[in-house]
Structure 1
Amino acid sequence: MRILVMGDTHMPKKGETLPHILTEQMKRTDHIIHTGDWQEKWLYDEVCSYAPVTSVYGNADGDEMKAFLKRTETFSLGGVKIGIVHGDGEKKTTEKRALDTFDETYDCIVFGHSHIPYLRYHGKKLLFNPGSPTDKRKLPYFSFGFLTVIKNSLQAEHCFFNLEGHSF
């Protein structure tokens, strides 16, 4: 099972359409995770047209998004237990807040907020931040990610790209 992971899209503030490289990949995925900060429901509806979506709301999402999304989500795919949280808050780093949100029974914690791609194990738990496909801030590239679940195991990777759609 191939899961496309994205977040911090901040649309339409950071763009009126999703990058072509991202939409092409969404056509070939089994599931989509979004880490929050959609900002507009039309974007959620568009992303849902590609594949089933599991998402949370972020600190930049208003009441419209909070009406149907939760602050945290959990689910299992292919024997892998995944927790999702945006990661905003006070004190601690974004990574530490995400890690502290879920107990040790989770195999993977997916989070956003910082817009900084992150892929690191903390003990046996994988922490994964896809970065942002529309708001790279001071980073050289935009990004999103993939989680691949095969026989109860998990692989994670980032896709980095520039405005011209060239991936690295």
Structure 2
Amino acid sequence: MLRIGVLSDTHFSSPQDGMELLERLQGREFREVDLILHAGDVVHPESLIAFDGIPLYLVRGNMDPPQAGVPIKRIVASGGFRIGLIHGWGAPDGLEERVMAEFAGEALDCLVYGHSHHWANHRRDGLLLFNPGSPTDRRAAPFHSVGILELGQDIQGHILPIN
């Protein structure tokens, strides 16, 4: 079984704050992950060096500056599954429809997105829609969170509260 750590909307206030949080995640919630997905709004991408040695796929969020090699959206193939990765934009209402439209015509098993800072983990027409929430700015969400995707016979998502 493959385990994927998923986060979004980290909005690090400084590279040091980012590295401290990511090192804590790597020692706890992401301790046994095979790769990491970040759905944008890193703000200080140099913090991601904390995940050195773990494959990392990220996309650019609306708060991130353009960066070579960091697309707006991508598809990650892993464990026989196809995972769409995008940040999202606009109001929370209609966010899932907008990000799904970006992958129209693609055969996806899961679509990971961010932007709302509120977690989601449900299926729509067989597609797992997964938003890990935010580990730093929960806004209207009941808790700070990250996610885990488990890839085995199928793909399952888990939201993990963090403190």
Distance 1:109 1:12, change over 3 A: same
Identify the residue that residue 130 of structure 2 maps to in structure 1. 128
Distance 1:5 1:91, change over 3 A: closer
Unpaired segments ≥5 residues, structure 2 = none
Please tell me the root mean square deviation across aligned C-alpha atoms, in Å: 2.2
Identify the residue that residue 165 of structure 1 maps to in structure 2. none
Q: Following TM superposition, by how much is the alpha carbon of 1:90 offset from its aligned partner in structure 2, in angstroms?
A: 7.0
Q: Following TM superposition, by how much is the alpha carbon of 1:91 offset from its aligned partner in structure 2, in angstroms?
A: 9.4
Q: Following TM superposition, by how much is the alpha carbon of 1:44 offset from its aligned partner in structure 2, in angstroms?
A: 2.2
Q: Following TM superposition, by how much is the alpha carbon of 1:160 offset from its aligned partner in structure 2, in angstroms?
A: 0.9
Paired residue type of 2:73:
T
For residues 136 and 161 of structure 1, the distance between their equivalents in structure 2, rounded to whole angstroms, comes to: 11
Paired residue type of 1:38:
V
Identify the residue that residue 59 of structure 2 maps to in structure 1. 56
Q: Following TM superposition, by how much is the alpha carbon of 1:23 offset from its aligned partner in structure 2, in angstroms?
A: 2.5
Which residue, 18, 39, 45 being the options, matches 1:41? Answer: 45
Q: TM-score, normalised by structure 1?
A: 0.85
Identify the residue that residue 10 of structure 1 maps to in structure 2. 11
For residues 75 and 138 of structure 1, the distance between their equivalents in structure 2, rounded to whole angstroms, comes to: 29
Q: TM-score, normalised by structure 2?
A: 0.87
Unpaired segments ≥5 residues, structure 1 = 163-168
Secondary structure in 2 matching 1:18: helix
Distance 1:46 1:161, change over 3 A: closer
Q: How many aligned residue pairs are there?
A: 158
Paired residue type of 1:123:
D
Which residue, 31, 34, 38 being the options, matches 1:27? Answer: 31
Contact 1:57 1:70 in 2 (8 A): yes
